[in-house]
A = this chain, B = another copy of it.
Amino acid sequence: MSISSRFAVGIHILALIDLNKETASSSEFIAGSVNTNAAVIRKIMGMLKKAGLIDVQPGVAGAKLSRELSEITLFDIYKAVNVVEENELFSIHDQPHPDCVVGKNIQSTIEPIFMAAQSAMEKVFQNLTLEDIVKDIEAKEQVQ
């Protein structure tokens, strides 16, 4: 099991739109950088658009960020590309036997723990923004 690369690609797309802002970033151009098909990029950009993270116009090449870099958290992107549903990172077997002490209680015992684990993971993304990503990339470029 692995969480879809749509998340990583979404971050890639947004960072590229910003770092390439003097030129229009068409889906074809972005696809070249990500190394995938342009339709895949357009699909993910559609999700980012729907989430209000970018402005795109049909027929017009390129996209712009809807907000400041520092106002877009990785959690925003994570939610936008729809890789993990709310409280469903971990699946629980359903209909355990109600006449068994364990079967009767296991779901309500485990659920809050799984929710806590998912929250701990998501909090990491809430505390990071696209600005952190772009600055890190820029810093790596300076060194070279």
Contact = CB atoms under 8 A, between A and B. Distances in A.
Assembly of this chain: how many copies? 2
Interface residues of A, number: 59
Contacts of A109: 133, 136-137, 140
Interface in A101-128: 101-103, 105-106, 108-110, 113-114, 116-118, 120-125, 128
Given A35-B103, A97-B33, A117 B108 contact: no
A129 to B, nearest CB: 11
A57 to B, nearest CB: 23
A124 B120 contact: yes
A63 interface: no
A contacts with B: majority SS: helix
A54 interface: no
Contacts of A118: 121
B120 A35 contact: no
A117 B121 contact: yes
A34 interface: yes
Contacts of A2: 1, 84-85, 88-91
A52 interface: no
Residue among A1, A83, A116, A133 with most chain B CB within 10 A: A1
A60 interface: no
Contacts of A101: 19, 137, 141
